[in-house]
Chain A
């Protein structure tokens, strides 16, 4: 850890060192530093390199500061014992003080300060957008009434009471001689009244209180920022107008403007949310910048609202809240996670920067004016009135709430009234000529922010533990629960209908109907519409979770064995599948399977009862157009997997081909093909194009004697040949060629080169070959009796088919070539030596 600190401080030093020249160039008082010298040279000849500090110093400093702030965060996160006691926001402010101290010590003037413009236009928007975007929608709208009450009435209450109380104290002479007035104090009250989202998120995310409490505090903090800014503007205008000018009309105008600004801002947000959603309907082909639209339009919603002098924060919040559901459904899953993470990076990053700079900005004697009475009274009033306001409003709300907020929740809500950077940004916007006591206000704001973020932040966790506040349950989401929630919703609506009430559930039901009828149609792509059902969604997620754990489980057994086993499992499954399919079919899908043989592919594709199959297929269809070729290779993954595997490992592990299962498998395959060719010969199918095979097999004989490494490369050479003359040559393989040929193959069992050839051959039969194997398959399958082994598998097969196997099946099913391969496998199992039991067992194991 010391190393980390060290590096951070070195960075700060560097920052100082390079920021000095810029100061020096402005003031020209200090002697030029070593680094600054280069700029002084007059150019007499062509310079090879030149020092261009002046040109880049601004972005450079910005980048460095960002880096420093993030490094600070990194340092703290390395010390869990530290962050468990003091919230991160507090720590960041502390480090800000230290950094500020260093800078001040070096420069004797505070060079860096958080400017309101930077804060409001570059740092705040992403935090607000992220807050809106990741807002738990149902919870938010379910508690919207309460949130609005707290955010609007609560904030007005805080502002008014604080302003009036301070004014009273001022009139009483408690503060000595300061030049202020009722309006100015009200303005001060309004700017410091709002609970700050940045501070609240930072503290509450670490505490994990129950979700209702969280959404109330968090929602309030988000929405009341809008309210604060509006109040601030109104009072600012009032102060400029002067007390004498204000009459009833102005006050009414102020109230109207309050509503226009707040509602208008929200509407702008909704409009932009619509825009984003409509845009994501058609960004399927530019997935790379798809996430970018969200950010740009989100930012534009902020700027547009600001331009129209509406509430930018509200606009941005509602933009995020409204669009999240639809864009998440519309966009590709990868884009969604990109948006999610990038949003978090920006939001978290700027949150960090804000706190560090809140610390740094304070280390500047020129802004500090101390007035003990004013500062202490402000702190006291803020604290007391916040509690009174919360208790009062909660009492009113509890008369109407279904689930009343209990006393402990109210205490936490009151105590969670953290002030933050918004107040600081606003107070800096004040005009020093109008507000004689601006410096006092700034200092007080600092003290309030520090007090709430540091002290209340630190004590929040112990308080929550001590009061035994209901924590958020880390619930594992289950399908049953989700289903039940849906049933509850319907049930409540029905009961409300029966009892003749128009309540929350009625409204929600109305909204849902409207949403389903119109919004989905308007805002979502047809594909997304289908998958947006919550029950279906959670089912999908659970399936993905299963698949992940399946892979993990496999990897736990060692990656090499896993890959090997899996590809073997594939083979095994494939065989098993083919062998069992004819018997399985009646159980699974009687209706689709006629007595006559439908090509296996169509069965595979249409009839396996599986969600996964369907979804996967859709997924495939979506991308198929983009990279069909790549996908085609992927689809043959039975072969590809093995080939790749050998390719990857053969160089390191020469014994790879001695793997027992693989040898076994090769043996079986060879046996099968031998039998096949034998049969075909017996049945009078002429061995086609022997000459060609001979020719092609020629080069393969050589590697026989050589090392696997060499043969490997040869095999790949062969592959090329195969593909080039695929049509004419390879087709015959699947159907079976002459016996001598097969005999030769038998000799090549352990030769990987041979296997590679088989791999490329088998999936390649051209279409005209299919009738021949089909005919064969019919003959063969008639001889297949429902063997005992197949019967044994029945109990576990359906569940497998439904859960994991279909994923694999579907990859096969799309491949029209593979089916050509499958009947052959079928024979291999049903007639010649059945695969040894151990192999079977393992195949099963991997499928569990």
Chain B
């Protein structure tokens, strides 16, 4: 426990962070170790190329987008707090935690999980997944196996399914509606981060 405490003491505002994300000290320590391992130059910040150094991430078709989601607009680096906050999206929702109405929605709620997924598509941040944006994702995920024409019609069809106001794009509301039946908490949670 000694090492846990000493690590924790090195992180500023750790109490607040734990309160906000719901991570236990053990989680925080583990993530901090990981953060430091990624932060090769010990600047206390991660740059996109630090993420790029993770080999397996390079093979991930949407790896770039995931990395991109760690960096808020205009920022080149991400510090430990933001890093943890992003990862907190993937903490399973906890049932026994008392609901505190005064608190803002926890970061691992259904809505914020969906928001995270949504912004992976919505690269231009206009609040809508356009056909072109969807097509880009499709292309990266289905590459080679399917022809461009097929991709296009898959994209059209997908939009058609979700698009309620017929503007040929998927807004967040529509996105949420189309995934109403999916148990987001099961699909967007990682076991170790419980």
Query: In residues 761-816 of chain A, which contact B (Cβ within 8 Å)?
Result: 799, 802-803
A498/B138 contact (C-beta < 8 A), A492-B90, A533-B146 known: no
A536/B117 contact (C-beta < 8 A), A486-B141, A491-B188 known: no
A798 nearest CB neighbor, chain B only: B156
Residues of A within 8 A of B193 (CB): 499
Query: Does B190 contact A475, Cβ atoms closer than 8 Å?
Result: no
Query: Does A498 contact B142, Cβ atoms closer than 8 Å?
Result: no
A402/B153 contact (C-beta < 8 A), A480-B162, A495-B87, A501-B192 known: no
Q: Is B149 an interface residue (CB 8 A)?
A: yes
Residues of A within 8 A of B120 (CB): 487, 491
Scoring A residues 468 to 509 as 1 if CB is less than 8 Å from chain B, else 0, what string do you get?
A: 000001010011110111111011111111111101110001
Scoring B residues 93 to 107 as 1 if CB is less than 8 Å from chain A, else 0, what string do you get?
A: 000000000000000
Query: Does A499 contact B161, Cβ atoms closer than 8 Å?
Result: no
Q: Is A19 an interface residue (CB 8 A)?
A: no
Query: Does B149 contact A611, Cβ atoms closer than 8 Å?
Result: yes
Among the interface residues B149, B161, B179, B189, which one has the most CB atoms of the partner chain A within 10 A?
B149
Residues of A within 8 A of B90 (CB): 492, 495
Query: Does B161 contact A497, Cβ atoms closer than 8 Å?
Result: no
Shortest Cβ gap from B120 to chain A (Å): 7
B145 nearest CB neighbor, chain A only: A533
Q: Is A530 an interface residue (CB 8 A)?
A: yes
A479/B157 contact (C-beta < 8 A), A487-B62, A500-B37 known: yes
Query: Does A400 contact B191, Cβ atoms closer than 8 Å?
Result: yes
Query: Does B54 contact A498, Cβ atoms closer than 8 Å?
Result: yes
Q: Is B166 an interface residue (CB 8 A)?
A: no
Instruction: Report the bound CA distance from A400 to B179 in whole Å.
Output: 27
Q: Is B181 an interface residue (CB 8 A)?
A: yes
Contact of A478 among B92, B178, B194 (CB under 8 A): B178
Residues of A within 8 A of B150 (CB): 536, 539, 611, 614
Instruction: Report the bound CA distance from A535 to B141 in whole Å.
Output: 10
Shortest Cβ gap from A504 to chain B (Å): 7
Shortest Cβ gap from B59 to chain A (Å): 8
Interface secondary structure of A, over-half rule: helix
A608 nearest CB neighbor, chain B only: B149
Residues of B within 8 A of A533 (CB): 142, 145-146
Shortest Cβ gap from A738 to chain B (Å): 44
Residues of B within 8 A of A536 (CB): 142, 145-146, 150, 154
Shortest Cβ gap from A19 to chain B (Å): 55
Instruction: Report the bound CA distance from A533 to B142 in whole Å.
Output: 8
Instruction: Report the bound CA distance from A433 to B16 in whole Å.
Output: 75
Query: Does B179 contact A487, Cβ atoms closer than 8 Å?
Result: no
Query: Does A611 contact B192, Cβ atoms closer than 8 Å?
Result: no
Query: In residues 22-51 of chain B, which contact A (Cβ within 8 Å)?
Result: 31, 34, 37-38, 51
Instruction: Report the bound CA distance from A609 to B154 in whole Å.
Output: 11
Residues of B within 8 A of A380 (CB): none
Contact of A609 among B51, B62, B153 (CB under 8 A): B153
Shortest Cβ gap from B91 to chain A (Å): 11
Instruction: Report the bound CA distance from A481 to B142 in whole Å.
Output: 15
Instruction: Report the bound CA distance from A479 to B92 in whole Å.
Output: 25
B170 nearest CB neighbor, chain A only: A480
Q: Is A561 an interface residue (CB 8 A)?
A: no
Among the interface residues A478, A495, A614, which one has the most CB atoms of the partner chain B within 10 A?
A495
Query: Does B153 contact A484, Cβ atoms closer than 8 Å?
Result: no
Query: Does A480 contact B62, Cβ atoms closer than 8 Å?
Result: no
Residues of B within 8 A of A490 (CB): 60-63, 66, 141
Instruction: Report the bound CA distance from A497 to B21 in whole Å.
Output: 20
Query: Does B161 contact A494, Cβ atoms closer than 8 Å?
Result: no
Contact of A530 among B56, B141, B145 (CB under 8 A): B145
Query: Does A499 contact B137, Cβ atoms closer than 8 Å?
Result: no
A479/B137 contact (C-beta < 8 A), A400-B191, A498-B87 known: no
Instruction: Report the bound CA distance from A33 to B154 in whole Å.
Output: 72
Shortest Cβ gap from B112 to chain A (Å): 14
Instruction: Report the bound CA distance from A580 to B124 in whole Å.
Output: 36
Residues of B within 8 A of A505 (CB): 190
Among the interface residues A491, A497, A500, A614, which one has the most CB atoms of the partner chain B within 10 A?
A491
A399 nearest CB neighbor, chain B only: B194
Q: Is B152 an interface residue (CB 8 A)?
A: yes
Instruction: Report the bound CA distance from A505 to B90 in whole Å.
Output: 13
Residues of B within 8 A of A495 (CB): 66, 87, 90, 190
Instruction: Report the bound CA distance from A799 to B190 in whole Å.
Output: 40
Q: Is B187 an interface residue (CB 8 A)?
A: yes
A499/B87 contact (C-beta < 8 A), A480-B179, A533-B146, A614-B149 known: yes
Q: Is B6 an interface residue (CB 8 A)?
A: no
Q: Is B123 an interface residue (CB 8 A)?
A: no
Instruction: Report the bound CA distance from A504 to B153 in whole Å.
Output: 33
Instruction: Report the bound CA distance from A536 to B146 in whole Å.
Output: 8
Residues of A within 8 A of B158 (CB): 479-480, 483
- Interface size class of chain A, counting residues whose CB lies under 8 Å from the partner chain: 35 or more
Shortest Cβ gap from A538 to chain B (Å): 9
Q: Is A560 an interface residue (CB 8 A)?
A: no
Q: Is A694 an interface residue (CB 8 A)?
A: no
Residues of B within 8 A of A486 (CB): 141
A479 nearest CB neighbor, chain B only: B158
Q: Is B57 an interface residue (CB 8 A)?
A: yes
Residues of A within 8 A of B66 (CB): 490-491, 494-495, 498
Query: Does B191 contact A609, Cβ atoms closer than 8 Å?
Result: no
Shortest Cβ gap from A495 to chain B (Å): 5
Instruction: Report the bound CA distance from A500 to B192 in whole Å.
Output: 10
Instruction: Report the bound CA distance from A614 to B152 in whole Å.
Output: 13
Residues of B within 8 A of A530 (CB): 145-146
Shortest Cβ gap from B79 to chain A (Å): 15
Among the interface residues A497, A503, A536, which one has the most CB atoms of the partner chain B within 10 A?
A497
Shortest Cβ gap from B116 to chain A (Å): 8
Query: Does B157 contact A491, Cβ atoms closer than 8 Å?
Result: no
Q: Is A445 an interface residue (CB 8 A)?
A: no
Contact of A483 among B60, B138, B149, B187 (CB under 8 A): B138
Query: Does A479 contact B154, Cβ atoms closer than 8 Å?
Result: yes
Query: Does B154 contact A499, Cβ atoms closer than 8 Å?
Result: no
Instruction: Report the bound CA distance from A442 to B70 in whole Å.
Output: 65
Q: Is A542 an interface residue (CB 8 A)?
A: yes
Q: Is B1 an interface residue (CB 8 A)?
A: no
Contact of B161 among A478, A485, A614 (CB under 8 A): A478
Instruction: Report the bound CA distance from A808 to B120 in whole Å.
Output: 37
Instruction: Report the bound CA distance from A486 to B37 in whole Å.
Output: 29
Shortest Cβ gap from B178 to chain A (Å): 4
Q: Is A228 an interface residue (CB 8 A)?
A: no
Among the interface residues A403, A475, A611, which one has the most CB atoms of the partner chain B within 10 A?
A611
Query: Does B56 contact A497, Cβ atoms closer than 8 Å?
Result: yes
Query: Does B178 contact A492, Cβ atoms closer than 8 Å?
Result: no
Residues of A within 8 A of B73 (CB): none
A491/B191 contact (C-beta < 8 A), A498-B87, A533-B142, A611-B154 known: no
Q: Is A330 an interface residue (CB 8 A)?
A: no
Instruction: Report the bound CA distance from A803 to B61 in whole Å.
Output: 28
Instruction: Report the bound CA distance from A503 to B141 in whole Å.
Output: 22
Shortest Cβ gap from A488 to chain B (Å): 4
Residues of A within 8 A of B194 (CB): 402
Interchain residue pairs with CB less than 8 A apart (30): A402-B186, A403-B189, A481-B181, A481-B182, A483-B137, A487-B62, A487-B141, A490-B61, A490-B63, A491-B120, A491-B188, A492-B90, A492-B190, A493-B60, A494-B57, A495-B87, A497-B54, A497-B60, A498-B87, A500-B34, A503-B190, A509-B56, A535-B141, A535-B154, A536-B142, A536-B154, A539-B153, A539-B154, A542-B157, A609-B152
Instruction: Spell out B's residues near A (CB within 8 Å).
Output: 31, 34, 37-38, 51, 54, 56-57, 59-63, 66, 70, 87, 90, 92, 117, 120, 137-138, 141-142, 145-147, 149-150, 152-154, 156-158, 161-162, 178-179, 181-182, 185-194
Known interface pairs A478-B161, A496-B192; 7 further A-B residue pairs with C-beta atoms within 8 A, sorted by A's residue number? A403-B186, A483-B141, A490-B63, A498-B54, A498-B66, A500-B34, A613-B149
Instruction: Spell out A's residues near B (CB within 8 Å).
Output: 400-403, 473, 475, 478-481, 483-488, 490-501, 503-505, 509, 513, 529-530, 533, 535-536, 539, 542, 609-614, 799, 802-803
